[in-house]
Amino acid sequence: MALEKITAVTGRAVYVPGNDIDTDRIIPARFMKCVTFDGLGEFLFHDVRKNADGTDQAHPLNDPRFRGATILLSGANFGCGSSREHAPQAIQKYGFRAVVAESFAEIFFGNCTTLGIPCAAAARADIARLAAAIAADPSLAVTLDVAAGEIRFGGQAIPAEVRPAARDALIHGRWDAIGELLEGLPAVQALATRTPYLAA
């Protein structure tokens, strides 16, 4: 299975401030009642974007200036909470191609990588700088250079690291493990046969 080599993501960015933004916030549990992921994008951040009566709340994703952004910017411990893959799926289906935050929750990070969404960690002050730049000019082109570990925008550059294992997987087009795992099947069967509780 040949996968795309994701070396960089370029596009406009939107800043959703806050620490500990959990997967319930990203996609409330009631939208997980589905048997496919199609259509999840429209419910991204639903409960902080919409009022109970369906009207819009003030939220960066409701701001027309940031429509079409492909890079999501946020705070520390992004994606904590439930392991639901509906969260990265909703992010991807909404149109995001990369997430930049101060830090990421473990399972969320892994789930994103497997979908080919780079999660890059940047320092708080640098995120603030980038956020200020896009607030000043929402049409600013932002490039997350996955390979080089930096974000470039408007003549500036800030360090933004995708953890090495994930980075290599992304830039070499190995972010979805299934192909390699399937190649290992004979070895899997052999190990299973030697493992008492599996052999029985």
Asked if 41 is part of the footprint of other proteins (rule: CB under 8 A), the reply reads: no
Q: Are 26 and 166 in contact (CB under 8 A)?
A: no
Least separation in angstroms between CB 77 and other proteins: 5
Q: Which is nearer to other proteins, 132 or 165 (CB)?
A: 165
Q: Output 64 or 196, the one with its CB closest to other proteins.
A: 196
Identity of the residue, 157 or 198, whose beta carbon is nearer to other proteins in the bound complex: 198
Name residues whose C-beta falls within 8 Å of residue 153's C-beta, 6 or more positions apart in sequence: 13, 130, 133, 134, 140, 141, 142, 143
* DSSP H or E run through 92: helix 86-94
DSSP letter for 162, please: P
Binding flags for other proteins, 97-126, as an x/- string (CB under 8 A): ------x-xxx--xx--xx-----------
Shortest spacing between CB 138 and other proteins, in angstroms? 24
Tallying the residues shown for the chain, one arrives at: 200
Residue from the set 3, 70, 135, 168 that interacts with other proteins by CB under 8 A = 168
Q: Which of 13, 71, 73, 169 binds other proteins (CB under 8 A)?
A: 169
Q: How many CB atoms lie within 10 A of CB 52?
A: 6
34 binds other proteins (CB under 8 A): yes
Of 128 and 140, the one with the shorter C-beta distance to other proteins is: 128
Task: Report the residue number, 154 or 179, with the smaller CB distance to other proteins.
Answer: 179
Q: Do 196 and 29 touch, CB atoms closer than 8 A? A: no
Q: Could you tell me the maximum CA-CA distance found in the chain, to the nearest angstrom?
A: 65
**CA dist 138 → 69, 165, 188 (Å):** 9, 32, 50
Q: Are 142 and 13 in contact (CB under 8 A)?
A: yes
Q: Which residues bind other proteins (CB under 8 A)?
A: 18-20, 22, 24-25, 28-30, 32-37, 47, 52, 76-77, 80-86, 88-89, 103, 105-107, 110-111, 114-115, 164-165, 168-169, 172, 174, 176-178, 180-182, 184-185, 187-188, 191-192, 195-198, 200
